[in-house]
Structure formats: structure tokens, C-alpha cells
């Protein structure tokens, strides 16, 4: 997808150079060299105005006519000549405007240093812009005179980027023809993003070892509907002091008035009238509390089957998860049924990359804190979790009762539970989770989970989790897939203004200088020099789940989910079936896919989404396929296939 760029060079990078010269003045190069006998002034004469241009110029400095032949750059054939004739008028208009504004020109002045009075880096050429080749392809004579940027630490402002390619007057004719066909000269292509291997973070982006703040932990609360997820979350917030006694009294009073007294703690998170009326969570609620070791971000996910897409969108941010189980007779069995969400949520959480999980066996008071019931649940669910890929050493089992406050933030006081259970309580189990490694040293990457627009202030705010890099006020950010560039106005973490946000933080980023309609959930904030890939044709490595009732064939219509984006998709090719043990191809071009098969397939989407190959970015490389209200396959992006248009 294209994105906006500032055409020409970034003149802010050249503030140390003096542009106040006369036509006859000699301008010193940044690194002057001694002249030798071989250093002769080489010029070429413009066929239109007969002006003698420097050898490094590919277009006339006066009239803008493109040079018909440049050694090593263009081929002097009929195709090139026709293209020059068809495009020279637009190129001439843009270049002559620059000449008129300065009234000064000199063939001895390098292009990168020629000033453009009255034109700043934020303005765009409206008369036709020439798309150019990358800087490493520019001739040696030109690049040797080009001043280099002085400091990378001040914002993300740089020379214009076209998918990692700089833009200037030196043009590649092929690129120019493609730019004209696109019909939008103010946006730069992001189909070929720069490799992050060349990225060098600034010092402020890396966490200071002297900082003794709590490590952030994004904790997803998942499980079958009515297992007590919101009640458990609300109770934890109240016990940790995040909900005052006055607020709790208000929730209790409101719940009793509607005949739902047991829902009081859940109402701390289920705030919408519809959620309270139906008694179920419909969207992912975000709340915070502090433990001894972590600043915990609670992601209370909906359990109803109709809102699994919302659960996917919110829980993709999780570092670890609490799988809440209803221990009541019939409750556990309903969640483990083929139509239950305990199985689906466990599968999804594992496919999100979460390998640390706490199994909270809730409502133990309904079975008199029976050890036999707890052991039965552990045996049946443990077998299923192992089949999902969870390791026993990373799974914690906690019997508790959220309503009666047993085994949450302290050891159980009820003798029926304390008589046989001597393990950790829930808050202690959360502190025992291992912190994840963060990508602080990689370019900025933040999938947008939600968008808040303020029409009165003309601002737009993007909410999400920083997967890589860092942010602070004043930085330029690229919003994909729209390609617009905005400036970070303020940052909020836990509803508090913060100076810096780093990888792993859940933040609200207030943007300015950007059209709010181009910022949407499912998009991505990224570094202007390192745009995320945008495509609608992917190769996936998938595992077909046992929820599948109808085989997947070529042409099957599915829902494609990736981070916070959702798009209609179609299977266009089934490449091969893989051996589940070895991962090698066991059958090529099968006619269909059935349950529990691993395969390589190609899918085509109705619209483009932001994505990366899994090997480059795990957060933007995990995909989920759903149909008929069920998740039928989970997988990873192995290849981004560019459109042939």
C-alpha cells in the first residue's frame, strides 16, 4: 500500500550549510578534494534550451527536460524516448517552479544543497512527482557531494521514503511510470519495506537499568461463558485497591436493583447497559492492578461464542493467560463440549504464542471444595492442554472461589479447601510467571486495537500494545495501511500521561496532523523509515482444528483474522499436507483438508491488511481462519505474495 512522503530531500538535515550565495560564488563541498589532472568539468547540453548542465544532472536545471541518455542509468531506445516525451512536461513543471522561486542556479552546486525558499518539508509537489531509485543506486559523483543527515535521535524525520527508497530529482524512468499509473503522487509504496537489520535505536528507546519500576504483564482472562471471568477480575481489582469501597457499594446497589446481586464485581468491568442487561461480556475490558512483581494489565475477554472475534482481537496482546474453569456440575462439561469455548479459547491462546497459563478452577464453593472434582477437572483438561502444546511445567492449577474470596490474594481460609490444598494462591501464581523478552531495539510497531476520535479538538487517539520499539511525544509515526504520517502529541499509560512508552506497554497514542478517518482498528503504527508490509495474498502454514465440520477446499470462503484486523478471505490454493511429526511434505496438491491436518495453503483477501512473515515479526505473523462461528484453523504467515497488478 502507498503512503505519504515528502518529495525531495529533507532540508532540515542540512542546517549547517550556508545557502546565502550569489551566482558566482564558489560553494565548498563537505569534504573538498585536491584537483588532479583527471578532474575535468564534464557537462552535457540541453537539447531544448542549450544550457550546459553538470554531468551528474539527469534533468536540465533550467527547463527540466530529462536527459535522453545517462551512462549506466538509461538505455537510449525508442521506449525510453517515448517515455521521456510523455513525462517531460510534468517533470518540467515541478522543476521549473523551483527555479522560479529561487531565481538562482549554478551547475557547480550539488542538488542536495540547492535550497527551495518558501517550500518546507511538509509540502508536496502537486504538478507531478518523479519517483526515484534508492540512494545506493545514485551515481558516485552525485552521492559523493551529498551531505549526510547529522542526527537520528531527533524524531523520525528523514528524507522521503518510498518503501525504503529515497526520493529526489534524480529519477528512474520505470519507477516514474509506475508512480503515474498509481494515480496518487502524494503517497509512497510500502510493499517493499526496509529490513530492520539496519535499524539503530536511540539511547532513550532502551530501558534504563536503574529504573526499578514494575514490569508490565499483559494477562488475558479467558474461558467458557458464565465461568466467572469478570467476577474474578473485578474481585482482584477490588482486593488490590483499584476499586474503592464506595465504587463497590455503588455496583452492588445497581446490581440488586436489577435482580443480579451476584454480578456486582462483574459490573466493574462490564460497563455498557447491554452487557449488564444480558449478563455477559461482549468486548475485551482493560483494567490494571499491581502485584509485588508486575504491573498487570487485565484483558477480560468475552466467553460467549458470538463474541469470539472480539476475544481474538483483544487477547492477541496477551503475554500470559488465566483460563477460568467452572467447577460446578455440568459447567465444566459444557465448556469442554465440542460447542464450548473452553476448548476454543485454549487453542486460540496457544496460537497467540502464549505458553504460560494459570488454570483457575472457579466456583469451587458450588461443589463444597471437593478434591475429587478438582482432580477430575485436572485430569481431563490437562490431557487437552498437552494436545494444544502447553507444557506441564508452565501450567499452574489453582482451586478458588471468586464470590467467596477464597485463594485469590491470600491462602484459603475455608477449612474445606485448606485441608487438602497447600499450593500457591492466585496472586502468588501471577508473580511466579516469567517475564517475556521485549523487542526494544527494533523499529516501532504497534497494532491498533481501538480508535478514539475527538471532533471538538480535531484529534484522534490510537490504542494498542507496543510490540516493538518505543514512542515519545513529538515523534513522527507512519499509520498503515493508509500511509499517512502523523505526530505523537501525547502518550497515556494506565490513564496517566507518560513521557516514554516502550515495547510491551499498552498505551493510548494521541496523534495530530493526520486525518482521523485514516486511523482505524486493525491498522498499525510504525516507523516512517520501516513501514509494515500491506498485502491481500498470503501463503500460510496452518493447523486444521477438530472443530471443522466441512472440509476446506479450494474456493472455501473464510474469515481471516490477524492481530486486530479481520477480512473476508478465500482459499485459492492448497499446496501440500505436512507430516505432523516431522513437518515434511507428505502429500502435494491435496483436494481438501480435514480435521487435525497441517498444511501449506494460499489465501486471497477481499481487502489489504497489515502483516509480516512470522519469522520477521511474530505478533503480525499469526493468522486465524474462522467460518460458521467457529475457529477452524490457526497458523502463521510464511510468505507475503505481492499482487501482480
- Look at residue 201 and tell me whether its pLDDT is greater than 80: no
634 touches 624 (CB < 8 A): yes
Cβ count near 172 (within 10 Å)? 20
Distance CA 166, CA 183 (A): 19
Burial status of residue 550 (CB atoms within 10 A of its CB: 0-12, 13-18, 19 or more): exposed
Most confident of 435-439, 510-514, 604-608: 604-608
Cβ count near 211 (within 10 Å)? 6
Predicted confidence at residue 217, as pLDDT, reads: 92
Predicted confidence at residue 339, as pLDDT, reads: 78
Distance CA 233, CA 268 (A): 9
Phi, psi of 129 (to 5 degrees): -115, 140
611 touches 621 (CB < 8 A): yes
Query: Which three three-digit cell numbers place residue 508?
Result: 493510548
Predicted confidence at residue 197, as pLDDT, reads: 61
Query: Which three three-digit cell numbers place residue 353?
Result: 504464542
- Look at residue 100 and tell me whether its pLDDT is greater than 70: no
> Whole-prediction pTM value?
0.66
Mean pLDDT, residues 159-178 taken together: 36
Mean pLDDT, residues 534-550 taken together: 90
pLDDT in tens, 221-265: 999 988 989 899 999 999 998 888 888 888 888 888 888 777 888
3-state percent breakdown (helix, strand, coil) of the chain, nearest 5: 25, 25, 50
Widest pairwise Cα distance in the chain = 100
Report residue 581's pLDDT band, with 50, 70 and 90 as the boundaries: confident
- Look at residue 618 and tell me whether its pLDDT is greater than 80: yes
- Look at residue 554 and tell me whether its pLDDT is greater than 70: yes
User: What is the rounded average pLDDT for all residues in the chain?
Assistant: 75
Q: Please say whether the dihedral angle defined by the alpha carbons of residues 8, 12, 14 and 20, taken in this order, is positive or negative.
A: positive
Report residue 367's pLDDT band, with 50, 70 and 90 as the boundaries: very high
Q: Is the peptide bond before 172 cis (omega within 30 degrees of 0)?
A: no
pLDDT in tens, 298-318: 998 888 888 888 888 778 889
C-alpha of 603 from chain center: 20
Q: Which of 31-35, 131-135, 370-374, 592-596 has the lowest mean pLDDT?
A: 131-135
Query: Which three three-digit cell numbers place residue 380?
Result: 481431563
Matching residue, cell 490457526: 634
- Look at residue 395 and tell me whether its pLDDT is greater than 90: yes
Angle between the 371-388 and 341-351 helix axes, to the nearest 10 degrees? 50
Helix (H, G, I), strand (E, B) or coil at 208: coil
Mean pLDDT, residues 323-342 taken together: 90
> Which has more confidence, 629 or 16?
629
pLDDT in tens, 57-67: 777 777 667 77
Predicted confidence at residue 384, as pLDDT, reads: 93
Distance CA 418, CA 399 (A): 10
Q: Which residues of 130-169 are buried (b: 16+ CB within 10 A; e: fewer)?
A: bbbbbeeebeeebbebbbeeeeeeebbbbbbbbbbbbbbb
314 touches 283 (CB < 8 A): yes
The DSSP line for 142-165 is HHTTPPPPS-SSSTT--S-BSSS-
- Look at residue 575 and tell me whether its pLDDT is greater than 70: yes
Beta bridge partners of 593: 552
Cβ count near 578 (within 10 Å)? 19
> Which has more confidence, 12 or 272?
272
Integer-rounded Cα Rg, in Å, for the chain is 30
pLDDT in tens, 65-74: 777 544 443 3
Strand pairing report for 357-362 and 395-399: parallel
- Look at residue 521 and tell me whether its pLDDT is greater than 80: yes
Report residue 558's pLDDT band, with 50, 70 and 90 as the boundaries: very high
C-alpha of 194 from chain center: 16
Q: Which of 31-35, 42-46, 440-444 has the lowest mean pLDDT?
A: 31-35
Beta bridge partners of 223: 324
List of residues 6+ apart from 271 with CB closer than 8 A: 285
Q: Is the peptide bond before 481 cis (omega within 30 degrees of 0)?
A: yes
Q: What is the DSSP letter of 126?
A: -
Predicted confidence at residue 527, as pLDDT, reads: 92
Q: Which residues of 77-102 are buried (b: 16+ CB within 10 A; e: fewer)?
A: eeebeebbeebbebbbebbeebbeee
Beta bridge partners of 497: 492
- Look at residue 345 and tell me whether its pLDDT is greater than 60: yes
Matching residue, cell 476520535: 453
Report residue 47's pLDDT band, with 50, 70 and 90 as the boundaries: confident
Predicted confidence at residue 635, as pLDDT, reads: 93
Mean pLDDT, residues 83-103 taken together: 41
Amino acid at each position: 500500500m502507498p503512503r505519504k512522503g515528502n518529495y525531495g530531500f529533507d532540508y532540515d538535515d542540512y542546517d549547517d550549510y550556508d545557502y546565502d550565495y550569489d551566482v558566482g560564488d564558489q560553494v565548498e563541498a563537505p569534504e573538498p578534494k585536491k584537483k588532479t589532472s583527471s578532474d575535468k568539468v564534464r557537462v552535457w547540453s540541453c537539447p531544448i534550451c542549450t544550457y550546459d548542465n553538470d554531468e551528474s544532472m539527469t534533468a536540465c536545471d533550467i527547463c527540466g527536460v530529462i536527459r535522453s541518455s545517462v551512462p549506466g542509468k538509461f538505455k537510449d531506445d525508442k521506449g525510453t524516448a517515448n517515455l521521456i516525451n510523455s513525462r517531460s512536461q510534468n517533470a518540467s513543471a515541478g522543476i521549473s517552479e523551483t527555479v522560479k522561486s529561487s531565481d538562482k542556479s549554478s551547475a557547480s552546486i550539488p542538488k542536495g544543497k540547492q535550497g527551495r525558499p518558501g517550500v518546507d518539508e511538509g509540502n508536496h509537489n502537486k504538478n507531478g512527482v518523479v519517483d526515484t531509485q534508492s540512494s545506493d543506486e545514485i551515481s558516485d559523483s552525485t552521492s559523493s557531494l551529498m551531505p549526510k543527515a547529522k542526527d537520528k535521535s531527533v524524531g523520525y524525520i528523514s528524507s522521503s521514503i518510498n518503501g525504503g527508497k529515497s526520493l529526489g530529482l534524480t529519477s528512474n524512468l520505470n519507477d516514474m511510470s509506475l508512480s503515474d499509473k498509481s494515480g496518487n503522487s502524494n503517497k509512497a509504496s510500502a510493499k517493499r519495506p526496509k529490513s530492520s537489520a539496519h535499524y539503530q535505536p536511540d539511547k532513550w528507546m532502551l530501558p534504563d537499568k536503574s529504573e526499578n519500576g514494575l514490569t508490565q504483564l499483559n494477562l488475558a482472562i479467558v474461558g467458557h461463558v458464565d465461568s466467572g471471568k469478570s467476577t474474578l477480575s473485578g474481585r482482584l481489582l477490588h482486593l488490590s485497591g483499584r476499586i474503592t469501597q464506595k465504587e463497590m457499594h455503588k455496583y452492588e446497589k445497581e446490581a440488586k436493583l436489577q435482580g443480579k446481586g451476584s454480578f456486582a464485581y462483574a459490573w466493574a468491568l462490564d460497563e455498557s447497559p447491554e452487557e449488564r442487561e444480558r449478563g455477559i461480556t461482549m468486548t475485551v475490558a482493560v483494567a490494571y492492578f499491581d502485584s509485588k512483581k508486575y504491573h498487570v494489565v487485565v484483558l477480560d475477554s468475552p466467553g460467549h461464542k458470538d463474541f469470539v472475534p472480539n476475544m481474538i482481537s483483544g487477547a492477541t496482546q496477551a503475554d500470559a493467560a488465566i483460563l477460568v474453569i467452572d467447577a460446578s456440575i455440568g459447567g465444566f462439561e459444557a465448556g469442554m463440549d465440542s460447542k464450548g469455548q473452553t476448548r476454543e479459547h485454549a487453542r486460540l491462546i496457544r496460537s497467540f504464542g502464549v505458553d504460560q497459563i494459570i488454570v483457575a478452577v472457579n466456583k469451587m464453593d458450588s461443589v463444597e471444595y471437593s478434591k475429587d472434582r478438582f482432580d477430575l477437572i485436572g485430569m481431563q483438561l490437562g490431557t487437552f492442554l498437552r494436545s494444544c502444546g502447553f507444557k506441564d511445567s508452565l501450567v499452574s492449577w489453582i482451586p478458588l472461589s471468586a464470590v467467596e474470596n477464597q485463594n485469590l490474594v491470600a491462602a484459603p481460609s475455608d477449612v474445606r479447601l485448606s485441608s487438602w490444598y497447600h499450593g500457591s494462591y492466585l496472586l502468588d501464581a501471577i508473580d511466579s510467571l516469567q517475564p517475556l523478552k521485549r523487542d526494544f531495539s527494533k523499529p516501532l510497531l504497534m497494532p491498533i486495537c481501538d480508535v478514539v476520535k475527538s471532533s471538538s479538538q480535531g484529534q484522534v487517539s490510537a490504542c494498542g500494545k507496543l510490540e516493538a520499539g518505543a514512542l515519545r511525544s513529538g515523534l513522527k509515526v507512519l499509520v498503515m495501511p493508509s500511509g499517512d504520517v502523523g505526530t505523537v502529541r501525547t502518550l497515556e499509560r494506565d490513564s496517566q500521561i507518560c513521557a516514554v512508552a516502550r515495547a510491551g506497554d499498552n498505551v493510548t497514542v494521541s496523534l495530530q496532523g493526520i486525518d482521523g478517518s485514516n486511523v482505524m482498528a486493525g491498522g498499525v503504527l510504525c516507523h516512517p523509515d520501516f513501514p509494515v508490509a500491506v498485502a491481500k495474498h498470503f501463503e500460510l502454514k496452518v493447523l486444521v482444528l477438530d472443530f471443522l465440520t466441512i472440509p476446506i477446499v479450494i474456493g472455501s470462503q473464510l474469515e481471516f483474522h490477524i492481530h486486530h484486523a479481520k477480512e473476508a478471505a478465500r482459499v485459492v490454493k492448497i499446496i501440500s499436507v505436512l507430516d505432523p511429526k516431522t513437518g515434511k511434505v507428505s502429500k502435494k496438491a491435496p483436494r481438501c483438508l480435514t480435521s487435525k491436518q497441517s498444511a501449506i495453503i494460499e489465501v486471497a483477501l477481499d481487502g489489504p491488511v497489515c502483516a509480516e512473515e512470522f519469522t520477521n515479526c511474530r505478533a503480525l505473523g499469526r493468522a486465524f481462519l474462522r467460518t460458521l462461528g467457529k475457529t477452524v484453523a490457526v497458523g502463521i504467515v510464511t510468505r507475503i505474495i505481492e499482487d501482480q497488478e
